Amino acid sequence: MNRRLLLTSCFIISFLLINAQDKSKSAYAGKEAKITDEIELADEDIELFKEHTRQKVDEFQQHIVTIGDKSQPAEKRDMAEREALKLFFKDAQMETSTVMPDGSIKITSRPMEKYLSRLKSLPYTQVVIEFYDIAYIREFTKGPDGRYYSTATIFQKFTGFDGDNILYTDVTQKEIEIILELVEDKFFNEKRWVIFLGNIKATETKKTT
Amino acid sequence: MIFKQTLFLFLWVNCIFSINMFSQNIEKLKKLKAEPYMVLKIKQFDQFVERFNYEKDFFDRPVDSNFVKEFPREEYLKFLFNHAKNKDTSLFNEQLIQDFIDSICHTEYPIVLNRYSGDIIAELDCKVKLENTNKNINLYLCQEQGVDKSIKWVILKANGLINENVNKLNNRFIPPTSHEINFMNLSALLNNNKDAYSLTYKDYKIDELSIFIDLVNNDKILFEHVTNITFHILSVPGFIFKVRKFDRDELNSGWLISEIERKDISLFEYLKKY
């Protein structure tokens, strides 16, 4: 009886806490609506999503660093790979542009799963991936499908070692497609704006072998 | 030279403050200090528009009174040009550039670019496979706004699919009395000859966009990727300018103005040229 009373009290308190959330909070904090309602993003909400985008991009960068780091345990790298993939929209691709010795540009496109998988198995004894502390994120624009689209630009430095010798290093600029989508949460009967990463275009800007 | 030195000093001083600002947002990931070219580089076309419109400074902060004193719009616009060492002298006609900037900074009617204007055309150099042969074609696109204020890119034109210099052959024609015999000679003229063009009316121009759509719909063309993008901008009255990407690790890099022409022309007339 006491246990039932305790469980019931916990449930009631949780219910009250959930519904006590300030409904005037920004969309980023979790704007709620009935499933049948249409939601338009206000300008101030879009600005807040820009900040959330930075955090998502940082999260992606953290996973990339872990995946590439051969000194990390395999389980940790595998988990980072799974977590990184969860950030992406379905069928996201990585397109890479590389300047060849003859000056021509080679463009290769791969599904994101393959790109991340290849990152784990590069032919170096050690791989160091670092990111620069600069990110440009453009304004969100509404698409005909009701989603909002943006792009984030970041810079990544890659270094591959053979023992203590640097075999390869380059700096690439990456453009990451950002998609803001209204996702249905059937359990709570509400819709939430969720940020996904989409296709990525990588351009080599500086190479030293 | 003094101008470049001032700019460099301005960038380094502000780099220190901006990096502190970025550092507050980084919880776990240690990041490298951005190199000056990464800050100044015009990384996206939208950033080009922001700088052209004098909306944001080099660090993507709104342009304020201090920045205006340091870099008035006329000076800031000069950073949007490609200043490559092997420059084309016709592009760097000083008078042309000055007149262009004066038009944009006109006191009463300053020009700003509308991002979703039909006056901005993207020319895409594309690599495709047509009948198992590699081919380079061009697609021309502009942005279209929907009633719900949504935006999408739409294709205006295609070219490169057919030989531009195709001429009509004089010995291929539909004889003048064909109507009396039920035009029975059409089957001989059209089948196994691959030249219906010679049979069209005098002023007919081949519509390559329709050809492209048909090839796509019938799986006869494989689209591989876009190799280059050039933006053609008709928003400054009396001028047309092109913007493309210069990927190099220099202060002057990214999306930059590559060409300017004096021209007053409608979009429709301009596309005819391509």
**pLDDT averaged per 10 residues in sequence order, chain B, 274 residues:** 50 46 48 92 96 95 95 95 65 84 92 90 95 93 93 94 76 91 91 86 90 94 94 94 92 94 83 73
What integer pLDDT is reported at residue B68 of this predicted model? 95
Task: Give me the total of CB pairs closer than 8 Å, taking one residue from chain A and one from chain B.
Answer: 80
Q: Tell me: pLDDT of A200 over 90.
A: yes
| Same domain for B27 and B112 | yes
Q: Which range marks the domain in which residue B195 is found? A: 167-204
Asked if the Cβ–Cβ distance from A132 to B43 is below 8 Å, we say: no
Does the pLDDT at position A74 exceed 60? yes
User: Are B84 and B216 members of one domain?
Assistant: no
The answer to whether residues B73 and B37 belong to one domain is yes
At A89 the pLDDT is: 92
The whole-angstrom distance between B2's CA and the closest CA on chain A is 27
Beta pairing, strands A190-208 & A93-99: parallel
User: What pLDDT is stored for residue B2 in this prediction?
Assistant: 42
Q: For residues B78 and B101, is the Cβ–Cβ distance under 8 A? A: yes
This prediction's pTM: 0.82
Q: Calculate the alpha carbon distances from A97 to A69, B228, B258 in Å.
A: 23, 11, 21
Q: Tell me which of B204, B221, B253 is where a domain ends.
A: B204
A136 near B CB under 8 A: yes
Tell me: ipTM over 0.85: no
- What domains are defined for chain A? 40-208 (3.10.450.50)
Predicted pLDDT of residue B26: 36
Asked if residue A116 has pLDDT above 90, the reply is: yes
Range A89-96 average pLDDT:
92
More confident: A58 or A34? A58
How many independent structural domains does chain B possess?
3
Neighbours of B138 (CB within 10 A): 17
Q: In terms of CA atoms, which chain B residue is nearest residue A54?
A: B25
The reported pLDDT for the residue numbered A152 is 95
Q: Is the same domain home to B7 and B40?
A: yes
Testing the interface with A: which of B18, B24, B28, B31 to mutate, by most A Cβ within 10 A?
B31
Total Cβ atoms within 10 A of residue B236: 17
Q: Are residues B135 and B104 in the same domain?
A: no
Burial class (CB in 10 A: 0-12, 13-18, 19+), A197: buried
Q: What is the pLDDT of residue A145?
A: 93
Residue among B18, B29, B225, B252 with most chain A CBs within 10 A, to mutate: B29
B positions 224-263 inside 8 Å of A (CB): 224-225, 227, 247-249
Look at residue B11 in the predicted model and tell me its pLDDT: 54
- Tell me what the mean pLDDT of segment A63-90 comes to: 94
Domain match, B12 and B107 both = yes
Q: Which of B56, B53, B76, B74 is nearest to B64 (CA)?
A: B56
Q: What pLDDT score was predicted for residue B7?
A: 56
Asked if B149 has any chain A CB less than 8 Å from its own CB, the reply is yes
